[in-house]
Structure 1
Amino acid sequence: MEQVEADLSLAHDDGVPDDDPLKKYPRFVHPHRRTDTEAGAIALELMLDSRILDVVQALIGPPLGAQSMFYFKPPGARGQALHQDNTFLRADPETCLAAWIAIDDVDSANGGLQVVPGSHRTDLLCPEPADLSESFSNAQVAVPEGMSKVQTKMTAGDVLFFHGSVVHGSRPNTTADRFRRALIFHYVPEDSVEIASFYNPLIRPDHRETVLPEALGGGPCGDYAEMEP
């Protein structure tokens, strides 16, 4: 584990306390950019796998790969407060699309995703402070009026596709012996006109890189660079 972390150098959890389970098992962000490592080569291969891209294209048209992430979420780890992915990617004029792949069986006990159906029709919401005893991210958005959270239950290998405005998050992993590992990809439409700089360069299905103009705001998923009032 230590060698993999050193090779990838992609974890974004520097502020995690030493006794936090996420210190030992940090997130990997953009592993697809490190094809000189085995994990990076696999991430890029899966990001552009036709089984995923065919669904993505059906939903948003010809896509560009914007982000890869691997979450370990070991027993005892905090969850991630409710958020919307396009707060970070800032894709325009449409939004981003997530492909959330379960590596383990996931449910409420080990911190499976909670989603708010219908929230894809909402604008991006202003974040407010999150409960850091429950969430590793420091901000959250409220459930839109008239809507409610739904707890997902997934089997290893299942893929959940959802719009970048969908409000979603997860509770802590309260189990003693079950991980909740997930591989997550984000895509944007090929005709997008801008994206947050953190996501450049993007990847075309033929493995070529492309760069979009820089959008204002955004940043690594899971980190709010600036709290909005």
Structure 2
Amino acid sequence: MTTSALSLARDDTAALRDRYERDGVVQVDGLLTDCETQALRDVFMAQVERGHADLGASDEVAPDDVLARYPRFIQPHRRTDLDVGRAARRLMTDRRLLDVVTALIGPAYGAQSMFYFKPPQARGQAMHQDNYFLRAHPETCLAAWIAVDRCDEANGALKVVPGSHTMDIACPEVADRAESFSTGLVRPPAGLAVVQSELRPGDVLFFHGSLVHGSLPNTTRDRFRRSLIFHYVPRAGSEIARFYQPLVDVDGQDVRIDESADGGPCGEGWEGAAH
């Protein structure tokens, strides 16, 4: 499968759903405008200059790591007292995103927001599965990975494994910390190809919570790879890990569902702490 084969028009609902069911991943190009992605760059970079405001997960890395200055921001949509929070919450419930989400998994709630800066020379994130963390049950989560910069292999764009969404949630191995800031690694199933994504600002990758995906380091010296990620869960789902409560309804209001209990061994449940 080539990179271009990930892309489909967002108004081709049947094709989107068919591709998602087959591959577990689909790319929708140009969902946001250049002006919108520039505004996202500006507001999140301005927040870095003002401080992390308890949003940044800087404890994941050593103080001398470039990611300590540019840590990923976790759940900014909950901080409606900040410009970044208002921007994230507004976009989480944007109709353009929700139309694709609904086409893929039906009516849904927003569960998580994250902003990755990935500055030059920053490490990547080892291959993993999102629902290992969210523990959405019995339906899985869906990621909407929004490119805020041009993303390619050189600056550490996402790698995905189409078809891996049919595998169980796997117990992670130990990742190579020279290449990954995170500790867990999930190896793709034998026989499935790893596809390097390429996105322009405003393009969005939508992918299944069991899909194996990750990224390599940003090897450039002058290009960020910023991205805003949302996770959604179907309203048909009944449980999610405590960290992701409350969820966000389409009207922007908070809602709660049951909390997931730790499951059994990987492949049989949703074991593991939420990140």
Asked whether the equivalents of residues 55 and 76 of structure 2 are also in contact (C-alpha less than 8 Å), the reply is: yes
Residue 241 (structure 2) aligns with = 196
Identity %: 61
Q: Which of the numbers 125, 139, 148 marks the counterpart of 1:80?
A: 125
The unaligned stretches of length 5 or more in structure 1 are: 219-223
SS of match in other structure, 1:216: coil
Distance 1:56 1:121 in 2: 19
1:140 equivalenced with 2:188 (yes/no): no
- Would you say the 8 A contact 1:96–1:188 is kept in 2? yes
Measure the CA separation in 1 of the matches of 2:98 and 2:51.
27
Distance 1:217 1:78 in 2: 30
SS in 2 for 1:52: helix
2:175 and 2:124 map into 1 onto residues whose CA distance is 11
Aligned-pair distance for 1:172?
Answer: 0.2
Closer/same/farther in 2, CA of residues 207 and 14 from structure 1, 3 Å limit: same
Q: Given the alignment of the two structures, is residue 62 of structure 1 paired with residue 107 of structure 2, yes or no?
A: yes
In the other structure, the counterpart of 1:97 is: 142
Q: Cα distance 1:118–1:200, how it changes in 2: closer, same or farther (>3 A)?
A: same
Aligned partner of 1:76: which letter?
Q
1:187 aligned residue: 232
Match of 2:256 among 202, 208, 211: 211
The farther-off stretch of 147-156 and 69-78 is 147-156
Which residue of structure 1 aligns with residue 97 of structure 2? 52
After TM superposition, where is structure 1 displaced by more than 6 Å over at least 4 residues in a row? none
Deviation at 1:2, TM superposition (A): 4.1
Conservation of the 8 A alpha-carbon contact between 2:60 and 2:181? no
Correspondence for 1:3 among 30, 50, 53: 50
Classify the secondary structure of the residue corresponding to 1:68: strand
Contact 1:88 1:217 in 2 (8 A): no
* 8 Å contact kept, 2:247–2:254: yes
| Paired position in structure 2 for 1:31 | 76
User: Residue deviations 1:149-202, cap 9 Å, x none?
Assistant: 110111111001001010000000000000000000000001211001000000
Provide the residue aligned with 2:64 in structure 1.
19
Q: Which amino acid aligns with 1:51?
A: R
- Alignment of 1:170 with 2:234, yes or no, is no
- SS of match in other structure, 2:228: strand
- What RMSD over aligned residues (CA atoms) do the two structures have, in Å? 1.4
Aligned residues: 219
Larger helix share, 1 or 2: 2
1:41 aligned to which of 83, 86, 94: 86
